[in-house]
Amino acid sequence: MYLHSLSSLKRTLCNSQLLFLAIMPLMLSGCAEPVIQKFEGFAQGTTYHISYWSESPLNEKAVKASVEAEFAVIDKLLSNYRPDSVIETFNSAENTDSQAVGSEIVALVRIAQTVNQASQGCYDLTIKPLFELWGFRGEALTIPSDAAIVNGLKQMGMHKLTVVDATHLRKQQADLKVDLSSIAQGYSVARISDVLVQQGIKHYLVEIGGELKTAGYKPDHNPWRIAIERPLPGAQAMQKIITLPKDAPTAVMTSGTYRHYFDASGQRYSHILDARNGRPVTHNLVSATVIHPDPVIADAWSTALLCLGQVEGMKIANAEKIAALFIIQQDSQLLESKSDALSASDAIIIH
């Protein structure tokens, strides 16, 4: 989502867009099944929950320590709230020189460029000046003038951000600013999942701020199951349960307009900005969930589809073969629709 930083992306701890379903390990007739290990914590302005199990003994403290160490690495790389992070160092250097940002950020920018083009510019990592203009970084809405929005639009544009090589970026406009928050949560889920794999873990569920990835299955050989939250303000209830495939790692990413917004003068302003006009979206799509093997791609597309709205988003999801679930609010009703790729999937069960 276009929530300004990792800290504000999903900062309300109880407002995860996916409700984690706790799974209790089973004990069978005198012979114990492997037990699901769990730990949780606070990172990136939100909570995280890790569940895993293994046939072989593991050092639980070492697993948790490796996860915490990786969060620290990610924070130093992507945080918009740390002036010494790699991305903020890039942003603060107002020049058009080639700058070293590392292979991780370049890879994220490449994915974002693809989604930007496919979404016809609705999704854009350089929207940071407009996000600040509307006051979405803080707690107070400031409705900018038309002239201010026009000026803000002049400060952004993915076409002004150039990939020089595998580790360097260049701004074509010196004051260009990059905000990776709409893709960083997916990256974090991917990196933490990789840490578990490096520890020899094949069966896991990684959830950060409601965004998650699973691999394998539970000790009783049943699949992991998660739930999508009902996309209404103040609602802490399930909308749908998703049963995920056991034979392939799968990420589930949801973007919604219903958790982060301002009300002013009888009008609601969503934190989701359309980069094409610099204004909050006004359509009735309240939730877009993308299911994909890659958490980074799923995260970027969930934001892009939410920005586009159900009609335009469905067309592009079908064209790009993206498995997506759309939920619109029509008066007091929530109406769902699935993309062709999701409807055709035999591995993903939604009920």
pLDDT score at 134: 86
Which 8-state DSSP code applies to residue 160? G
pTM of structure: 0.89
Cα separation, 235 vs 262, in Å, equals 17
Q: Does residue 239 contact residue 256 with C-beta atoms inside 8 Å?
A: no
Query: What is the CB-side half-sphere exposure of residue 351 using CA atoms within 13 A?
Result: 4
b/e code 137-150 from CB counts within 10 Å (16+ = b)? beeeeebbeeeebe
Instruction: Provide the residue type at 123 as one letter.
Output: Y
Strand partners, 266: none
Q: How far is CA 131 from the centre of its chain?
A: 17
pLDDT tens track for 172-219: 999 999 999 999 999 999 999 999 999 999 999 999 999 999 999 999
- Tokens matching residue 218: 């539970």
Averaged pLDDT of the chain: 87
Any idea what DSSP says for residue 228?
A: E
Q: What is the Cα–Cα distance from 93 to 176, expressed in whole angstroms?
A: 9
Architecture of the structural domain at 87-181:
Orthogonal Bundle (1.10)
Per-residue pLDDT reduced to its tens digit, 56-89:
989 999 999 999 999 999 999 999 889 999 999 9
Structure confidence at residue 31 as a pLDDT band (50, 70, 90): low
Q: Which candidate, 299, 188, 241, places its Cα nearest to that of 19?
A: 241
pLDDT of residue 293: 97
pLDDT at 235: 61
The pLDDT of residue 234: 63
Domain-wise residue ranges, the chain: 87-181
**In this predicted model, what pLDDT tens digit does every residue of 135-176 receive, in sequence order?**
876 667 788 999 999 999 999 999 999 999 999 999 999 999
**What is the reported pLDDT for 164?**
98
206: left (phi over 0), alpha (psi -120 to 50) or beta: beta
For the beta carbon of residue 61, count every other beta carbon within 10 angstroms.
9
For the chain, the first-to-last Cα distance in angstroms comes to: 25
Bridge partner residues of 262 (DSSP): 269
Alpha-carbon distance 186 to 97, whole Å? Answer: 29
**Is 40 within 8 Å of 50 (Cβ atoms)?**
yes
Q: Which pLDDT score is estimated for 348?
A: 86
Distance of alpha carbon 16 from alpha carbon 313, whole angstroms: 23
Q: Which residues contact 153 (CB under 8 A, 6 or more apart)?
A: 130, 277, 278
pLDDT tens-digit readout, 101-119 = 999 999 999 999 999 999 9
Q: Are 243 and 345 in contact (CB under 8 A)?
A: no
**Total H helices, total E strands in the chain:** 10, 21
Q: Residue 235 and residue 184: Cα distance in Å, rounded?
A: 26
Q: pLDDT tier at 9 (50, 70, 90 boundaries)?
A: very low
Q: Is the dihedral of CA 294, 296, 301, 302 positive or negative?
A: positive
Q: Is the pLDDT of residue 28 over 70?
A: no
| Rounded distance between C-alpha atoms, residue 337 and residue 207, angstroms | 25
Q: Which pLDDT band holds residue 270 (cuts at 50, 70, 90)?
A: confident
Q: Are strands 349-350 and 267-270 parallel, antiparallel or unpaired?
A: unpaired
Q: What is the pLDDT of residue 257?
A: 79
pLDDT at 229 over 70: yes
